[in-house]
Structure formats: C-alpha cells, structure tokens
C-alpha cells in the first residue's frame, strides 16, 4: 500500500473528530477522496506519536451523500470543521438551537460503508 505524498492532499473538511481528525474529505491530486483513521500510536502526543489514515475513493453516490450531509452540517451547526471556506470571513458555529436540525436526522443515517471501496494508500499526521 503506497504512502500518499502530503503535497498531493488538500483537506476539505473533518467529518468525525476525537482529540484530532478521525475521518473527513480531501482532494487527492484534485479528486475527491475520503480519509479514515487506520491506526494511532498508543502514547498520544509523545515523541514519534502519529495518526495514520487510509485514503479511500468513494463512489459518486457516496460522494454526493457525504457532500449533502456536510452541507446540512454547515447550514445548522457551522463551518468550524472546514479547511476551506466559501468566500471571506471567519469560520462560524451556529446557535445551539439549530444543531438538532442536523444531529437528529444524522443520528438515523446509515453509516458510510467503505468495505467495497478502493483504498488508494495511506498518510499520517
């Protein structure tokens, strides 16, 4: 499995986070791809600590679905997990009262199935 050159990656957004990104979207050589945590050094933040990620190609339907969920997140929760913003201005968190408009339907969604997806390679932070 090849290591992906960091210069070929352009982060778009984080989808899941726990003490650092667990999954999200990137452009890899200009093409949409998904990253998901593959392994983590067991001693967080020690010298040599890392998180290693799989870089996965999604189907067009999966890409559309992840973009749809991310747009809903941006609308009702905020843009604070975006690496890119659409236009000038700071990233924003929406008022807490709006968050359930995303989290309620998101809690009922089928998890993203990556079992049959092509793994392009790996990278690490």
Q: Is the pLDDT of residue 103 over 70?
A: yes
Structural domain containing residue 22: 6-124
Q: Are residues 91 and 45 in contact, defined by beta-carbon separation less than 8 angstroms? A: no
Residue 16 located in a structural domain? yes
- Residues 116, 60, 7, 92, CA torsion sign: negative
Q: What average pLDDT score do residues 1-6 get? A: 94
Q: Would you give the DSSP letter of residue 81?
A: T
For residues 14-29, give the mean pLDDT.
93
The reply to whether 1 falls in a domain is no
- The mean pLDDT of the chain is 91
What pLDDT score does 125 carry? 74
85 occurs within a structural domain: yes
Do residues 115 and 45 lie in contact, with contact meaning Cβ atoms separated by under 8 Å? no
pTM for this entry: 0.88
Both tokens of residue 64? Answer: 């559309």
The pLDDT of 83-94, averaged and rounded, is: 73
Give the rounded percent of residues in the chain with a pLDDT score beyond 90.
Answer: 76
Q: Is residue 70 part of a domain?
A: yes
Task: Provide the pLDDT for residue 88.
Answer: 55
Averaged pLDDT for residues 2-30: 94
Distances (CA, A) of 105 to 57, 60, 61, 78: 25, 22, 19, 16
| DSSP conformational letter for 104 | H
Count of the separate structural domains present in the chain: 1
Residue 44 pLDDT exceeds 70 = no
Assigned token pair, 34: 């998904």
Strand order in the sheet with 118-124: 9-17, 21-28, 31-40, 51-57, 118-124
User: Which residues lie across from 122 on neighbouring strands?
Assistant: 3, 54
Q: pLDDT (tens digit, 9 = 90+) per residue, 48-72? A: 778 899 999 999 999 999 999 999 9
């Amino acid at each position: 499995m090849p290591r992906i050159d960091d210069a070929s990656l352009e982060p778009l957004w984080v989808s899941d986070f726990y003490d650092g990104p667990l999954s999200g979207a990137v452009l890899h050589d200009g093409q949409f791809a998904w990253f998901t945590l593959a392994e983590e050094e067991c001693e967080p933040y020690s010298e040599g600590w890392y998180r290693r990620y799989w870089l996965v190609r999604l189907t067009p339907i999966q890409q559309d679905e992840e973009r749809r969920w991310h747009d809903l997140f941006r609308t009702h929760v905020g843009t604070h997990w975006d690496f890119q913003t659409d236009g000038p201005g700071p990233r924003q968190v929406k008022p807490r009262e709006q968050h359930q408009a995303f989290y309620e339907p998101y809690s009922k969604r089928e998890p993203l199935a990556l079992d049959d997806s092509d793994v392009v390679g790996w990278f690490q932070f």
